[in-house]
Amino acid sequence: MRQLCREDQHRRSDSALVKALGRAHRWKRMLESGEFATIGDLARSECIAHSYMTRVLRLTLLAPDIVEVILNGRHGPELTLPRMLEPFPADWAAQRSQWRAAPR
């Protein structure tokens, strides 16, 4: 059995958050391609509440460096899926300030 080195232990990504980011970008592509005309149509197809889908889709507005920090598991405890689904600023500098998302 492989033992995790200390760096591996500190670089675990939040699987729920990573999955939500993936879904958000997939749903965005589906809407942009015209596969679905509205968020409501897509939400019905995915059997997901419209309001939840809109909150997850907002994750596509995250600053690229914040996304990278999340995917690499280098974010602090303040970046959780429930917190990320709350309203956040569209401005990337404001996002960085709000979540103090510097790599850890």
Q: Domains of the chain: which residue ranges?
A: 6-99
Q: From its phi and psi, is residue 63 left (phi > 0), alpha (psi between -120 and 50) or beta?
A: beta
Q: How many degrees, rounded to 5, is the angle at CA 65 between CA 11 and CA 20?
A: 70
Tokens of 13: 């990504």
Separation CA 81–CA 102 (nearest Å): 17
Nearest to 56 by CA among 93, 94, 17: 17
What is residue 92's DSSP assignment?
A: H
pTM higher than 0.75: yes
Confirm if 35 and 64 have CB atoms less than 8 A apart: no
Check residue 32 and give its pLDDT. Answer: 97
**pLDDT of res. 42:** 98
pLDDT tens digits in sequence order for the chain, 104 residues long: 344 344 444 456 689 999 999 999 999 999 999 999 999 999 999 999 999 999 999 999 999 999 999 999 888 887 899 999 999 999 999 999 988 744 44
Contact (CB, 8 A) for 14 and 73: yes
